């Protein structure tokens, strides 16, 4: 087809005078799958939102010409194709007719995108009723059919479910059913799989591809995940800081990236530090392990509904008897999906949760008395996932990094403390030269990757021998993730640190771990050396995990 379905020219978006998208051009042909890829803050989501003028407080200029005719409408009335419309200058009322019917959107987090007070069937039926004018009973049937199309099992029962009763994957399927209710010509998919577990991502993407083929609609997929782009899209446009730096066919871009940023993105898969393997060659049996767990079990009390709940509590077992040991200078990678108990395992090994079974760190077991734990507290430190909540926003870098010293070496003079803090910060690659007045700064002045470095410095200052890394890079952009992982490997090599690495990302495990433990629903499914588990997985679930990545 000669005329593109959507032709965007010189799109500029700014918030309160601050430009975030600087004049981008792209077009989507009917039935085409275009992917807009970029890191956080590159302006990709706001681009999609402003096409439907859903970006609040944004000043949008440029042209977005949409030449779409609703398929259902055409077959029904036989009317000629509607004239192209310019989405950015269309009156609000006409635009409302296009939203949902000709151009639909699905969002990253289905839990917040669905109304918790209505059943999913109701919400889908409402769209059908509104946009196609069907009667109530018919629209309910249509909703069930749409749900069935998305591959939800027992669609009739699920239609009566409320969003919180569905799993994450089912919710995203319901969102897709709602978006496709009017057979739109264009689907804007904003990170549709980011909030889902890896094994589900493939399924949802396959579903989108299948529905796209069946309905002949075009898809604008917004993502930061290059794997998705490679598997799904026909063409790709790479965004950096509000500019499209490169666009073209997927094979071409991935095969011969022209722009340095594209190359950096493609090259951002985590890599193993070449030097790390050589040093950690000492047999793991020779030395006492830094951490040893035998039949570690963690359970939470949960309340029972009804009158029985007044008298006793049930138990939810988050970790059902995990046994492992971590030798000095080695990394145990724990991989699993959300709800597998891996983060609980991390908190228990920090002595922050009550557990049963045996758990020794640095040759000492956790005690119930805080005073007796002081030595192990020093030996076992932690880096958390979210760099924004892991640093107190009201403390300076100096206060944050020095805190460990005030606990474990209270006699240190302030000048010495400051010296040590600067040293720890230099170890993670942050110096006063790069950031003038580094110690007096507050966390909000740093980016996600830099904050993660601060969190590592805070842990390192007490000279721990084991670091618990709870998804240390999953909140970071891919290029930053690579840098932080390289830093962690260097620190391990230089200081002989042991790591307990919790992650959902097989690529991170491949780059970092020496031993691997696979968890699902609190059970350890499989454990062993990296090559054994990832190259010749025994358990079917591990196989799914490895192939999904």
Partner 1 sequence: MSNSTSDGAFVPAAGAVALHISPARRGWRRFRRNPLGFWSLVLFCAMVVVSLSAEVVSNDRPLVVRYEGTFYFPIVKDYSEQTFGGDFPTPADYLDPFIRGRITAGGNWAIYALNPYGPKTLNYFAKSPSPAAPTRDNWFGTDDRGRDLLAQLIYGFRVSVLFGLALTVIGTALGILAGAVQGYFAGKTDLVMQRLIEVWSAMPALYLLIIFSAIFAPSIALLLILLSVFGWMDLADYVRAEFLRNRQMDYVRAARALGVSNLQIMWRHILPNSMTPVVTFLPFRMSGSILALTSLDFLGLGVPPGTPSLGELLSQGKNNIDAWWISLATFLVLVMTLLLLTFMGDALRDAMDPRKAD
Cβ atoms 162, 135 nearer than 8 A: no
Task: Please answer whether residues 193 and 228 qualify as being in contact, where contact means their C-beta atoms are separated by less than 8 angstroms.
Answer: yes
407 binds partner 1 (CB under 8 A): yes
Residue 394 beta carbon to partner 1: minimum distance, rounded to whole angstroms: 4
Return the structure tokens found at 456: 């590592």
Q: Is 470 exposed, middle or buried (0-12, 13-18, 19+ CB in 10 A)?
A: buried
Please answer whether residues 335 and 510 qualify as being in contact, where contact means their C-beta atoms are separated by less than 8 angstroms.
no
Answer whether 473's CB lies under 8 Å from 508's CB.
Answer: yes
| Binding characters for partner 1, 290-329, by CB under 8 A (x = yes) | ----------------------------------------
CB 523 within 8 A of CB 490: no
446 belongs to the binding site for partner 1 (CB under 8 A): yes
Does residue 28 touch partner 1 according to CB under 8 A? no
Residue 360: C-alpha distances to residues 277, 286, 501 (Å) = 26, 18, 17
* 409 part of the interface to partner 1, by CB under 8 A: no
Query: Which of 116, 153, 369, 394 forms a contact with partner 1 (CB under 8 A)?
Result: 394
Q: Does 462 bind partner 1 (CB under 8 A)?
A: yes
Check residue 378 for interaction with partner 1 (CB under 8 A).
yes
Q: How far apart are CA 361 and CA 65, in angstroms?
A: 63
317: β partners = 299
Q: Quote the CA–CA distance of 178 and 147 in Å, as a whole number.
A: 8
Q: Which is nearer to partner 1, 295 or 444 (CB)?
A: 444
Residue 212 within binding range of partner 1, rule CB under 8 A: no
Closer of 25 and 386 to partner 1 (Cβ) = 386
Integer Cα distance of 44 and 399 in angstroms = 37
Chain-centroid distance of CA 272 in Å reads 21
Burial of 5 (0-12, 13-18, 19+ CB in 10 A): buried
Taking the complex as a whole, the smallest distance from the CB of residue 320 to partner 1 amounts, in Å, to 23
Contact between 404 and partner 1 per CB under 8 A: yes
- Selected range binding partner 1 among 277-285, 430-438, 497-505, 527-535, rule: CB under 8 A: 430-438
The distance of closest approach from Cβ of residue 201 to partner 1 in the complex, given in angstroms and rounded to an integer, is 25
Select from 21-29, 355-363, 385-393, 415-423 the region that touches partner 1 (CB under 8 A): 385-393
58 touching partner 1, by CB under 8 A:
no
Among 87, 125, 245, 391, binds partner 1 (CB under 8 A): 391
Q: How many CB atoms lie within 10 A of CB 216?
A: 11
Decide whether 74 or 372 has the Cβ nearer to partner 1: 372
The CA–CA distances, whole Å, from 336 to 98, 198, 221, 511, 521 equal: 41, 9, 26, 16, 9
- To partner 1, the closest distance from the beta carbon of 443 in angstroms equals 9
Asked if residue 442 binds partner 1 (CB under 8 A), the reply is yes
Is residue 499 a contact residue for partner 1 (CB under 8 A)? no
Which residue of 19, 81, 309, 437 would you call a contact of partner 1, by CB under 8 A? 437
Instruction: Let me know if 331 is exposed, middle or buried by CB neighbors in 10 A (0-12, 13-18, 19+).
Output: buried
Q: Does 385 bind partner 1 (CB under 8 A)?
A: yes
Stretch that binds partner 1, among 45-53, 456-464, 510-518, 535-543 (CB under 8 A): 456-464
**CA–CA gap between residue 179 and residue 175 (Å, rounded):** 6
The answer for residues whose C-beta is within 8 angstroms of residue 324's C-beta and 6 or more apart is 291, 292, 293, 332, 515, 517, 524, 527
Q: Site for partner 1 (CB under 8 A): which residue of 13, 350, 424, 549?
A: 350
Nearest approach, Cβ of residue 53 and partner 1 (Å): 22
Residue number with CB closer to partner 1 (214 or 372): 372
User: Quick one: which segment of 146-154, 169-177, 228-236, 402-410 binds partner 1 (CB under 8 A)?
Assistant: 402-410
Decide if residue 278 touches partner 1 (CB under 8 A). no
SS3 for 415-426 is HHHHHHHHHHHH
Which residues, 6 or more positions from 35, have their beta carbon under 8 angstroms from its beta carbon?
A: 220, 221, 222, 223, 228, 229, 232, 233, 235, 236, 237, 250
Provide the minimum distance between the beta carbon of 12 and partner 1 in the complex, in angstroms, as a whole number: 20
Residues 152-191 that bind partner 1 (CB under 8 A): none
Closest approach, Cβ 436 to partner 1, in A, equals: 8
**80 CB-contact burial (10 Å; exposed 0-12 / middle 13-18 / buried 19+):** exposed
Q: How many residues bind partner 1 (CB under 8 A)?
A: 56
Using the rule CB under 8 A, give the single segment among 20-28, 154-162, 222-230, 436-444 that binds partner 1.
436-444
- Tokens representing 354 are 């009550």
**Residues of the shown chain interacting with partner 1 in the complex, contacts defined by CB under 8 A:** 16, 273, 275, 347, 350-352, 370, 373-374, 377-378, 380-382, 384-386, 389-396, 399, 403-404, 407-408, 429, 434-437, 440-442, 444-447, 449-450, 455, 458-459, 462, 468, 482-484, 486-487, 490
């Amino acid at each position: 087809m000669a005329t593109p379905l959507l032709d965007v020219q010189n799109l500029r978006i700014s918030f309160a005078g601050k430009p975030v998208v600087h004049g981008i051009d792209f077009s989507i042909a009917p039935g085409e799958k275009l992917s807009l890829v970029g890191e956080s803050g590159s302006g990709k989501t706001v681009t999609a939102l402003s096409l439907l003028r859903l970006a609040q407080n944004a000043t949008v200029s440029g042209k977005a010409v949409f030449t779409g005719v609703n398929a259902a409408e055409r077959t029904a009335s036989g009317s000629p194709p509607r004239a192209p419309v310019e989405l950015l200058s269309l009156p609000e009322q006409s635009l409302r007719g296009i939203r949902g019917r000709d151009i639909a959107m699905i969002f990253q987090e289905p839990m917040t995108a669905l109304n918790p007070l209505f059943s999913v069937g109701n919400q889908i039926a409402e769209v059908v009723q509104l946009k196609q004018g069907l009667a109530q009973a018919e629209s309910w049937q249509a909703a069930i059919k749409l749900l069935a199309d998305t591959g939800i099992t027992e669609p009739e029962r699920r239609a009566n479910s409320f969003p919180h009763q569905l799993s994450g994957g089912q919710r995203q399927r319901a969102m897709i059913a709602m978006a496709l209710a009017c057979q739109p010509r264009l689907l804007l998919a904003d990170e549709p799989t980011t909030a889902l577990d890896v094994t589900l991502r493939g399924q949802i993407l396959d579903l989108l591809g299948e529905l796209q083929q069946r309905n002949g609609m075009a898809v604008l997929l917004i993502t930061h995940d290059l794997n998705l782009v490679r598997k799904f899209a026909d063409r790709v446009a790479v965004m950096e800081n509000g500019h499209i730096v490169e666009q073209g066919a997927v094979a071409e871009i991935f095969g011969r990236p022209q722009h340095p940023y594209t190359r950096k993105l493609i090259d951002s898969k985590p890599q193993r530090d070449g030097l790390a393997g050589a040093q950690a060659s000492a047999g793991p049996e020779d030395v006492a392990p830094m951490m040893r767990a035998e039949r570690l079990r963690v359970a939470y009390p949960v309340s029972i509904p009804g009158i029985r709940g007044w008298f006793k509590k049930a138990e939810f077992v988050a970790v059902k008897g995990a046994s492992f040991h971590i030798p000095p200078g080695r990394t145990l990678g724990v991989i699993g999906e959300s709800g597998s108990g891996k983060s609980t395992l991390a908190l228990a090994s920090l002595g922050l949760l009550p557990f049963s079974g045996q758990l020794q760190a640095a040759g000492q077991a956790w005690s119930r008395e805080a005073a007796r734990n002081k030595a192990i507290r020093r030996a076992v430190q932690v880096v958390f996932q979210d760099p924004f909540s892991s640093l107190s926003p009201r403390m300076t870098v100096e206060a944050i990094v020095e805190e460990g010293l005030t606990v474990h070496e209270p006699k240190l003079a302030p000048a010495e403390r400051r010296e040590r803090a600067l040293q720890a910060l230099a170890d993670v690659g942050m110096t006063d030269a790069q950031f003038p007045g580094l110690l007096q700064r507050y966390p909000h002045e740093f980016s996600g990757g830099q904050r993660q470095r601060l969190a590592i410095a805070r842990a390192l200052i007490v000279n721990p021998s084991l670091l618990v890394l709870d998804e240390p890079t999953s909140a970071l952009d891919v290029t930053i993730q690579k840098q932080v992982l390289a830093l962690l490997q260097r620190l391990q090599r230089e200081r002989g640190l042991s790591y307990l690495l919790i992650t959902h990302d097989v690529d991170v495990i491949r780059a970092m771990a020496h031993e691997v433990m696979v968890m699902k629903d609190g059970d350890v499914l499989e454990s062993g050396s990296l090559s054994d588990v990832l190259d010749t997985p025994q358990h079917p679930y591990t196989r799914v995990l490895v192939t999904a990545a």
